[in-house]
């Protein structure tokens, strides 16, 4: 049996495990509070305490995946 090749230097992808947790926080906040503006959502999840740009990244993934949608007035809601 041939051994498997070693893993790549970094096993983390563009979507590391932490971003899934952050996306979950965003979804839970929107489910609990209803539609929010991006600023209100950031406050609801405590994004001020996240590493720089993590909130924007997690929100962008949630929108790209269709989990969160932007409303006509610029708000955000669960799809």
More confident: 18 or 37:
37
User: Can you give the pLDDT at residue 44?
Assistant: 97
Average of pLDDT values for 42-52?
Answer: 95
User: Can you give the pLDDT at residue 7?
Assistant: 59
Average of pLDDT values for 4-25?
Answer: 74
Q: For 1-79, where are the E strands, in sequence order? A: 68-70, 76-78
**Residue 43, CB-side half-sphere exposure with 13 Å CA sphere:** 5
User: Can you give the pLDDT at residue 16?
Assistant: 79
pTM over the 0.85 mark: no
């Amino acid at each position: 049996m041939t051994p498997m090749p070693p893993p790549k230097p970094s096993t983390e992808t563009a979507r590391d495990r932490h971003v899934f947790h952050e996306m979950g926080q965003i979804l839970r906040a929107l489910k609990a509070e209803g539609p929010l503006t991006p600023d209100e959502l950031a406050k609801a999840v405590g994004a001020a305490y996240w590493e720089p740009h993590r909130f924007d990244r997690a929100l962008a993934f949630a929108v790209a995946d269709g989990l969160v949608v932007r409303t006509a007035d610029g708000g955000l809601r669960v799809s």
